[in-house]
Amino acid sequence: MKIVLFIFLILIFNKSLLAHEKKDKEIQEENMDELFLGGDENKKNEYREETGEKWDIFGYFESENFFSIGKFTDGERPHQNDIVKFEERARLNTKYGNDFFYGKASFDAYLYAHQNKIKPPRKSGTVDVHEFYVAYGEKLQLKAGKQVFNWGSADVFRIVNYSDQKDLRELFLIDEDERYRGVYALDIKYLFSDYSFEAFVIPSSARQLLPGKGTFWEMKPKAEAGLPIIVISPDTKKSLSKNASYGMRSGGTFGPVDMYLSYFQGENNQMIFYPEIYWKLPLILPWLIVMNPDFSRVNKIGLDFAVNIQKLALRGEAVYTPDQPAIPESTIASNILWLSSTDIITRPRMKKAPYFSYTIGADYNLWGEYGLFLVEYSSSHFIANDNKYQKDFFSNILFIALEDKFYESRLKVGANFMLRLSNDGGWVPGLNIAYDFKNGIIVSAGFMLIYGQEDEMLSMYENHDIFYAKARIEF
């Protein structure tokens, strides 16, 4: 019986098509540290002249509407309803900064107008703190509070981003600015002329947000040998003393290449699920597999780079983990978790093994000013005795995208395609069209189709095809 080993990397790609064209407010939000803390003095002066003030409030209102267009199975859609989500969302960003001090707060508010028959029903609305921190310094910078690190250079599969909390609740269609949520941390950075050194401590690691039970993206692996499989969502309650994480990153510009070396020690950001097998006595017949998350502490050494060669941009990331949790292919050696006169629960013994992951990608300006072709590939494997361990749940993934803009950049059109490079791999095509009215109003629509084939991951979402329509008002 094959045991499923789940390792989630960053699998949210819809908004990456438009990642190269950001609004002015988004650019401000991403580069605030450079503007206020140790950045180019001319840029800081230009910013002060443009804004005329050091205090700013901005954000947007957005309506997201997802509809299932998958074919009917047994008289029903994949989620018993055509409507997947009616969500009204608002983000409020506020910031204050001068030469030496900078603070930022970012809040997300959600209102769900449709419960979509989820049992138990989700909250009709909620407010989340996305970022909330203060920073001080120029060359030597200190930052404390809830913050997003966003380490790495890749567009889609950012594997050196060890610390940020991943939001995987809407696996394939989450907005780009929602991929990572902030974590409470103390960060210190020193800026040299072309280089920098950064180190952080996170008192309590923020575990990934997975799709909830009963939702459209609920994880439902196919039954093996007739045995049902249940996936348990991670427990977000954690101890401050046992889950602290540490990391550092150093690098900068070396001629035409931006390169950074990083190290991380703490809770593994790759979500690994281990199986607990339920048996019936006295015949010892398995009747259920429960997949539980593992939060082992690991050490990671990473390298990421980016280089521009005229119209060609190359990016890459590589991570070596000497103590990655591994489940042997043979499940004979198991630990007994529970034993009674009628039942027994066992768990395969996990080992530690050296592990290597990498991402390589490029984008090329094909024609005109905005015609762009992007390709990115991600893979990972155990270095020693690779064939003796369970194969990665997420590996050998190729992502391709093509985008262009028309009518003075108002109309944006993008097509994307994700493929598992294996004989039984699934594939996911998608299309997105957006129109910017240039007055703060942006509307977009698109679709995504999933052909799961026999792929371990994508087969869970076979026929979860979606059409979506969005509208955003920025202020």
Helix (DSSP H) and strand (DSSP E) numbers for the chain: 3, 26
Taking 60 as the threshold, does the pLDDT of residue 6 lie above it?
Answer: no
Taking 90 as the threshold, does the pLDDT of residue 336 lie above it?
Answer: no
Taking 80 as the threshold, does the pLDDT of residue 151 lie above it?
Answer: yes
Report pLDDT for 92: 93
Domains of the chain and any CATH numbers? 7-474 (2.40.160.100)
Q: Regarding predicted confidence, which is higher, 350 or 9?
A: 350
Instruction: Give residue-wise pLDDT tens across range 86-108.
Output: 889 999 999 888 767 889 999 99
What stretches of 268-333 adopt beta strand conformation (E)? 271-280, 285-294, 297-309, 312-326
Of 12-26, 73-87, 151-165, 292-306, the one with minimum mean pLDDT is 12-26
Taking 80 as the threshold, does the pLDDT of residue 226 lie above it?
Answer: no
Q: Which of 18-32, 51-65, 373-387 has the highest mean pLDDT?
A: 373-387
Distance between CA atoms of residues 293 and 235, nearest Å: 9
Distance between CA atoms of residues 90 and 113, nearest Å: 14
Position 428 confidence tier, pLDDT thresholds 50, 70, 90:
very high
CA distances from 302 to 206, 278, 354, 430, 456 (A): 20, 38, 14, 31, 27
CB-facing half-sphere around the CA of 211: CA atoms within 13 A: 18
> What rounded mean pLDDT belongs to the chain?
81
User: Under 8 Å CB-to-CB from 51, ≥6 apart: which residues?
Assistant: none
Taking 80 as the threshold, does the pLDDT of residue 456 lie above it?
Answer: no
Report pLDDT for 18: 33
Report pLDDT for 30: 46
DSSP secondary structure of 127-151: EEEEEEEEEE-SSEEEEEEEE----
Taking 90 as the threshold, does the pLDDT of residue 458 lie above it?
Answer: no
Q: Is residue 163 within 8 Å of residue 183, measured between CB atoms?
A: yes
Taking 70 as the threshold, does the pLDDT of residue 118 lie above it?
Answer: no
Position 307 confidence tier, pLDDT thresholds 50, 70, 90:
very high
Instruction: Give residue-wise pLDDT tens across range 270-292.
Output: 778 888 888 888 877 888 888 88
What stretches of 183-311 adopt beta strand conformation (E)? 183-191, 195-202, 229-231, 245-254, 257-267, 271-280, 285-294, 297-309
Query: How many other CB atoms are there within 10 angstroms of residue 139's CB atom?
Result: 11
Instruction: Give residue-wise pLDDT tens across range 56-79.
Output: 899 999 999 999 888 777 666 776
Instruction: Give residue-wise pLDDT tens across range 155-165.
Output: 888 999 999 98
User: Under 8 Å CB-to-CB from 287, ≥6 apart: which residues?
Assistant: 227, 278, 279, 280
Taking 70 as the threshold, does the pLDDT of residue 14 lie above it?
Answer: no
Taking 90 as the threshold, does the pLDDT of residue 333 lie above it?
Answer: no
Report pLDDT for 12: 32
Taking 50 as the threshold, does the pLDDT of residue 132 lie above it?
Answer: yes
Q: Is residue 289 within 8 Å of residue 277, measured between CB atoms?
A: yes
DSSP secondary structure of 21-44: S--HHHHHHHTHHHHHTT--HHHH
- DSSP letter at 70 equals P
Position 453 confidence tier, pLDDT thresholds 50, 70, 90:
confident
Distance between CA atoms of residues 429 and 28, nearest Å: 32
Q: Is residue 209 within 8 Å of residue 171, measured between CB atoms?
A: no
Distance between CA atoms of residues 52 and 313, nearest Å: 36
The residue type found at 469 is A
The mean pLDDT value for 298-321 works out to 95
H or E, element range at 48: helix 41-51
Report pLDDT for 35: 46
Position 185 confidence tier, pLDDT thresholds 50, 70, 90:
very high
Report pLDDT for 23: 37
Taking 50 as the threshold, does the pLDDT of residue 339 lie above it?
Answer: yes
Position 238 confidence tier, pLDDT thresholds 50, 70, 90:
low
CB-facing half-sphere around the CA of 186: CA atoms within 13 A: 3
